[in-house]
Amino acid sequence: MNKLKVAVLISGRGSNMMALLEASRQPESSFEICLVIANRSDAGGLAAAQQAGIEADIIKFGDFETREAFEEALHDRIEHSDARLVCLAGFMWLLGDAFVQNWRDRLINIHPSLLPAFKGLNVQAQAVEMGVRFAGCTVHFVRHELDDGPIIVQAVVPVKPADDENILAARILEQEHIIYPQAVQWIGEGRIRVSGERVLIDNADIHNEAIISPFDTFD
């Protein structure tokens, strides 16, 4: 089976990148990571990718005169790798319209909230401050608006009375490491279709499993 080639863009430690890499090494995996790009030279995930034998590059905005030139360099490097899917994994850069359009329905992101709630940064703190009872994470196709696009899969976690943003973030991160590889696996298997702005998963049972709800007790 020809596996789906995936490029991963990071800015930091790359924990979701490592979750994808681990999943890609399973016998039943439908995808492989062919490239990791960081937009920061101090991104911890770069070393992890190199140690795993993955091509890893640094492409920084500061090395280019314009935003467009930076994103064109990203695009060209990804195309050169023969990647067919781009995964944003803690990539701290709002991609422009041209890049997003070039990779439309081939560009996905993971966000630590139940979109469309709590877009942007510091979303775990927002969830705690607002007193929501449930939070979670979302894998979605990327559109030009911030944290917007057709939702592929979400995971739900409880927000406990004693939670602060760090405790909640850690609980959500555990689920990120589950659903991001799952989404890429489905795409590699050809089970994902975008109809309008809605994701359809070819298998009703799988679609019903798209919400993962580890409802543990409230302490």
As beta bridge partners, residue 192 has 201
DSSP β-ladder status, 85-88 and 192-195: unpaired
Between CA 46 and CA 25 the distance in angstroms is 18
Please tell me what DSSP assigns to residue 49.
Answer: H
Active-site annotation holder among 111, 144, 177, 207: 111
111 is catalytic: yes
First-residue to last-residue Cα distance in the chain: 47
Tokens of 25: 């090494």
Given its phi and psi angles, is residue 118 left (phi above 0), alpha (psi -120 to 50 degrees) or beta? left
Between CA 87 and CA 141 the distance in angstroms is 9
Count CA atoms within 13 Å of residue 152 on its CB side: 25
CA-based max dimension of the chain: 53
CA nearest to 96, candidates 60, 56, 58, 142: 142
Residues acting as catalytic residues:
111
